[in-house]
Structure 1
Amino acid sequence: MIPQGKLLLIGGKENKEDENKEMERENKNFCPNEILKLLTDSKEDRIEVITTASSDPDSIQSMYTDAFNKIGYSNYDFLDICDEQIHTDYQTKRISAAKTIFFAGGDQNRICDVLKQSALQYLIKEKYNNEKGFTLAGTSAGAMCIPDVVILEAVNGEAMLQNDIKLDAGWGFINNCIVDTHFIHRARFGRLAHAVILNQNCWGIGLGEDTALLIEEGNIGTCKGSGMAWLINAKNIGQTNIKTVKKGCPVFAENLKVHILTDNCKINLRKGVFIGQSDNNTIAEES
């Protein structure tokens, strides 16, 4: 089944406050609030922002209110979902009426279990699968929880060490990906590579800040924004000690495959086909 909706996976710091003036001067691909403008096709469409991942939902609400008002969005609100509220009719009605569900950032440990296997998760999945024009978006921790597998904790060390990464089941909106965010700024290549070596059927999607991967038809990803999206794949890995390495010892791996996408580059996640900016007109033939 081809999903009718879209996924918008955001690497964090999607230029909410027009604060990066140096990037604006130097990077020709920089466009203020470009990522947030992808949340919906119409400024009148309903957007529900889920702030559960944050320990300070009021500040998240204030920040996005300012950004959305600058863009011209006129129909949005905020939900802070916790365990005891998860099956309320009030929240179900709001989720049902939304054209976009946007999970804000924070701590993926805080948000992942609250939605996992819940009535709201099933409702959102039904909308994603069947509702044309629906968008499920997440930034930072909100993006990391969207696939089948989520990185809950990991060490950013000088080596990938056995037992220094904790993975868990995510929400399952896409089944062949693991997402990491703030990827360049926080030097997370090692931990995402470790995750895909452990899950060799998955693409590792490393998203830079003010950068997103827009996924349509369930597997066609388009990079958006001023930074980079890194795609790491271990499907054809060669030599590795991942199954025999002892606790505290480094992991090695041969023949990892890496793509780097910038604005408007595409990737077919099912076939592994990379489409550069000059070849974007061929994506339909590859899907």
Structure 2
Amino acid sequence: MSEPAQQQKNGHLVIIGGHEDRKHDMEILSRFVELSGGKDANIVVITAASTVPDDMWSMYDDAFGNLGVERRSHLELSSRQEANSEEFVRQVAEADGIFMTGGDQKRLLALLGGTALDAEMHIALKTRGATIGGTSAGASAMSGHMLAQGRVELHPEKGSVSLAAGLGLLQRVVIDQHFSERQRLSRLLTVVAQNPYLQGIGIDEDTALVVERGVGIEVLGQGAVTIVDGRTMITNVADIKDRDTPELIDVRLHLLPAGSSYRLPTDATAPGKGLPLPLLDFLEHVTKRNPIQ
């Protein structure tokens, strides 16, 4: 009798809005461990976004240890030379779960972007079906277009937010974190107004958007995920001055509270199976099996 075929691993992204519970029920981190393979998983923590990497590692060392993970290690990245080294690439190549901590996403990309380690993370997700998690800055860095800086107060303001290149694990989206707690809807609307090609994803604290490539999404934690879609938008943003507030007409907003779960339809003759078309478009987009870059 032949051996049963090994179940295909699609690869997961666990995109966390920051300040996830690391001491009590740890719902989000528990799910990250489960998707990585459970207590026997080999988990690597990348602290490159932080200026206090040892302190950051200590928090996650304790958290993953309390979840029963024995094979956990700190990848303390301090230079691009290290990110191109065989030893660091090997650590990621052998990891079942790769976790990027918070800090400054610009710092993270300056050290990691375009390196051999970056390329190995894409292989891990898209070829080996590993799980990649990121919180706060580590979440923002996952998309191809990354929020670099900008603060918006009450209304969207042209020119007040800038983007930079991210890791590209997701394409045609931009991710913002600490979303409701720091009242960042205006900031995300500003991004979408100036870049309607992108869909905005805002993730609350202690909340995660989990993406299974080619399959679907789920929302975990205590808050919600906000999706801003400007593809049908009418706006005068091209004609106004910097720092002016644009008109934004027919911007679509989806709110997915914790517990929401959507899977792509498997029956091509019934597209959506009742899903609204804009949400189906979003699902198809964020779960797309992008090739390794």
Q: TM-score, normalised by structure 2?
A: 0.83
Matched, 1:157 2:153: yes
Residues 12 and 208 of structure 1 are in contact (CA less than 8 Å); yes or no, is this contact kept in structure 2? yes
In structure 2, relative to structure 1, the CA distance for the partners of 1:226 and 1:273 (3 Å cut) is: farther
After superposition, residues 174-253 of structure 1 pair within 5 angstroms as 174-218=170-214, 220-238=216-234, 240-253=235-248
In structure 2, relative to structure 1, the CA distance for the partners of 1:274 and 1:221 (3 Å cut) is: farther
How many residues are treated as equivalent by the alignment? 263
Q: Secondary structure at the match of 1:201?
A: coil
Residues 92 and 124 of structure 2 are in contact (CA less than 8 Å); yes or no, is this contact kept in structure 1? no
CA deviations 1:191-223 (Å, max 9, x no partner) are 111112222232211101110000012572211
In structure 1, what is the equivalent of residue 31 of structure 2? 38
After superposition, residues 136-175 of structure 1 pair within 5 angstroms as 136-175=132-171
What is the letter of the counterpart of residue 130 of structure 1?
Answer: T
What is the letter of the counterpart of residue 254 of structure 1?
Answer: I
CA deviations 1:77-126 (Å, max 9, x no partner) are 11121223121111011011000111100011111122211111111111
Q: Secondary structure at the match of 2:227?
A: strand
In structure 2, what is the equivalent of residue 106 of structure 1? 103
In structure 2, relative to structure 1, the CA distance for the partners of 1:218 and 1:143 (3 Å cut) is: farther
> What displacement does 1:252 show?
2.5
Q: Which runs of 5+ in 1 are unaligned?
A: 19-31, 277-282
Q: Secondary structure at the match of 1:69?
A: helix
What is the letter of the counterpart of residue 237 of structure 2?
Answer: I
After superposition, residues 37-56 of structure 1 pair within 5 angstroms as 37-39=30-32, 40-56=36-52
Residues 156 and 187 of structure 1 are in contact (CA less than 8 Å); yes or no, is this contact kept in structure 2? no
| Cα distance between partner residues in 2 of 1:264 and 1:214 | 11
Residues 206 and 231 of structure 1 are in contact (CA less than 8 Å); yes or no, is this contact kept in structure 2? yes
| Cα distance between partner residues in 1 of 2:262 and 2:240 | 33
> What displacement does 1:189 show?
0.6
In structure 2, relative to structure 1, the CA distance for the partners of 1:12 and 1:189 (3 Å cut) is: same
- Aligned residues: percent identity? 29
| Cα distance between partner residues in 1 of 2:152 and 2:272 | 27
| Cα distance between partner residues in 2 of 1:151 and 1:268 | 28
What is the letter of the counterpart of residue 52 of structure 2?
Answer: D
After superposition, residues 87-98 of structure 1 pair within 5 angstroms as 87-98=84-95
What is the letter of the counterpart of residue 13 of structure 2?
Answer: L
CA deviations 1:212-250 (Å, max 9, x no partner) are 000012572211111111111101112x12111212212
CA deviations 1:8-58 (Å, max 9, x no partner) are 10011111133xxxxxxxxxxxxx200001222311110100000011111
Residues 265 and 275 of structure 1 are in contact (CA less than 8 Å); yes or no, is this contact kept in structure 2? no
| Cα distance between partner residues in 2 of 1:218 and 1:190 | 31
In structure 1, what is the equivalent of residue 5 of structure 2? none
What is the letter of the counterpart of residue 248 of structure 1?
Answer: R
Q: Secondary structure at the match of 1:179?
A: strand
What is the letter of the counterpart of residue 29 of structure 2?
Answer: L
| Cα distance between partner residues in 1 of 2:187 and 2:29 | 27
| Cα distance between partner residues in 1 of 2:200 and 2:264 | 11
After alignment, is 45-54 or 265-274 more displaced?
265-274
After alignment, is 168-177 or 266-275 more displaced?
266-275
CA deviations 1:139-164 (Å, max 9, x no partner) are 00001011111001011312222221
| Cα distance between partner residues in 2 of 1:272 and 1:232 | 20
Matched, 1:260 2:255: yes
Residues 193 and 232 of structure 1 are in contact (CA less than 8 Å); yes or no, is this contact kept in structure 2? yes
In structure 1, what is the equivalent of residue 59 of structure 2? 63
Residues 158 and 194 of structure 2 are in contact (CA less than 8 Å); yes or no, is this contact kept in structure 1? no
After superposition, residues 261-280 of structure 1 pair within 5 angstroms as 261-267=256-262
What is the letter of the counterpart of residue 164 of structure 1?
Answer: S
